[in-house]
Amino acid sequence: MMKENYFDKVAKEWNTPKRNSASEEIKEIILNRLEGERDLSKIKVLEIGAGNGILAMLLSKHFYKIDCVDSSVGMREEFLKNKDEFSADNVFIYDESFLDNITEKYDFIYSHRVFHHIADVESELKLLKKLITPKGKFYLMDFCTIPAEFHKDFPDFDGHNGFSEEEIRTYFKNTGWKLTNYEIIRHGKKENIEYDIFLAAGEI
Ligand SMILES: C[S@@+](CC[C@H](N)C(=O)[O-])C[C@H]1O[C@@H](n2cnc3c(N)ncnc32)[C@H](O)[C@@H]1O
């Protein structure tokens, strides 16, 4: 029997004030870190695991275009509704097979709270290396190590309980990404569990 996609089930309720204000914060963090880079309005961007697309919509007016991928059909539907609502004509959503067929390269690739759902992190990082321009930037944002209890409501969770800084350094090293910066960018709390979000910046 095919495994149900958890994100298809929660997609319609993903838009919460808490998540939206986190997306606002992440938008500011991204723009602040990219300040001084070449003209952002000319650069092509790729987001991995965009969910309902709120972060991409908030960023859209700053970039030339943002291509997004997400493996959940429910999230992709919500993305398209939000795209209409935001009138964000330069954001696009695809399923994950899009990554296997792309011929263009991106000047900036980012991902927020997604990699802990990806079993084979190194394969994904190797794939993204092929999609970035020589001077491009990659921002991987995700949970620092969290207790297994964090995903107790996620049926058959088979991802990672966040990542330690050492794990991230090892993944980057093993896949040939240069880690140019590692920092904690946010603190949060889910029920009684406190968590941190890191940003690992990479270049090839
Ligand atoms: C926790 S949500 C985060 C969504 C959004 N980035 C945010 O910060 O609100 C994780 C998202 O990653 C997507 N996802 C999980 N594995 C993926 C993969 N291998 N490729 C693309 N998307 C993936 C899920 O469908 C889901 O929408």
Mean pLDDT of 117-130: 97
Q: Which residue has the higher pLDDT, 4 or 134?
A: 134
Q: From CA 96, how far away is CA 72, in angstroms rounded?
A: 9
* Ligand 1 within 6 A of CB of 7: yes
The predicted pLDDT at position 36 comes to: 77
What percentage of the chain exceeds 70 in pLDDT?
99
Pick the atom of ligand 1 nearest to 26's CA.
8
- What does the DSSP assignment read for 111-151? EES-GGG-S-HHHHHHHHHHHEEEEEEEEEEEEBS--GGGG
In a domain, 163, yes or no: yes
CATH classification at residue 161: 3.40.50.150
Look at ligand 1, atom 12, and give the residue with the nearest C-alpha.
49
Q: From CA 72, how far away is CA 124, in angstroms rounded?
A: 17
Best residue among 24, 117, 153 to mutate for probing ligand 1, ranked by most atoms within 8 Å of CB? 117
What percentage of the chain exceeds 90 in pLDDT?
90
- Tell whether the model's pLDDT for residue 3 goes beyond 80: no
Best residue among 26, 114, 115 to mutate for probing ligand 1, ranked by most atoms within 8 Å of CB? 114
- Tell whether the model's pLDDT for residue 57 goes beyond 60: yes
In a domain, 62, yes or no: yes
Q: How many CB atoms lie within 10 A of CB 132?
A: 20
- Tell whether the model's pLDDT for residue 37 goes beyond 80: no
For the stretch 80-111, pLDDT in tens is 999 999 999 999 999 999 999 998 999 999 99
In a domain, 1, yes or no: no
How many domains does the structure of the chain reveal? 1
The predicted pLDDT at position 35 comes to: 85
Range of the domain at 159: 6-203
The amino acid at residue 144 is C
Best residue among 14, 18, 71, 78 to mutate for probing ligand 1, ranked by most atoms within 8 Å of CB? 71
Give how far Cα 7 sits from Cα of 3, 25, 27, 106, 117, Å. Answer: 12, 23, 22, 26, 11
Q: Which residue has the tokens 């795209």?
A: 83
